[in-house]
Amino acid sequence: MDVHFEGLRSDKGMIRICLTRDEHYFPKCEDDPLAYKASISASDKTGLHIEGVAPGDYALLVLHDENGNARLDKMLGIPREGVGFSGNPRLLVGPPSFEKVRFRVEHRRVSQDIRLKYFL
C-alpha cells in the first residue's frame, strides 16, 4: 500500500500515520494493538510504502506534527497542525466516522492520496 501526502504547508516536524481495521480505535488508534503506525520526516515528500497489508477494510489517519512533540496540538479544540484521512472527507466539526473514511484493500496494490487540512 502506498500513501502520498498533498498540501503540506511546511517540511518541519514529522508526518505520523495510523492505519486501523477496528472502528472502535478510530481515529485515536494508539491503543490498537493491530494498527500500523509510522512516523516519517515531513521533509520526505515522497510518501510512504506499507508492506504486508492484509485484505480488508481500513481507515487511515495522517497528522502533520510540525513541532515534533508526538501529539496533535489544538487551540480551543481546533487542530493547530495538519490532519488528513483516507478518502479526503470534508472536515467540519470533529473527526469523520470510520464509515466515511473506510477503504478496501484487496490483493492488488492500493494507493491513498491524503490531502492535509490546516484550520489555524
Listed by start position, the domains of the chain span: 2-115
In what side-by-side order are the strands of the sheet with 48-49? Answer: 48-49, 2-6, 111-115
Average pLDDT over all residues of the chain: 94
| Contact criterion met (CB below 8 Å) for 67 and 76 | no
Distance CA 71, CA 48 (A): 20
Q: pLDDT tens digit string along 32-68?
A: 999 999 999 999 877 999 999 999 999 999 999 999 9
Q: pLDDT tens digit string along 1-27?
A: 999 999 999 999 999 999 999 999 999
| Contact criterion met (CB below 8 Å) for 88 and 114 | yes
Q: pLDDT tens digit string along 62-87?
A: 999 999 999 999 999 899 999 999 99
Predicted TM-score (pTM) of this structure: 0.93
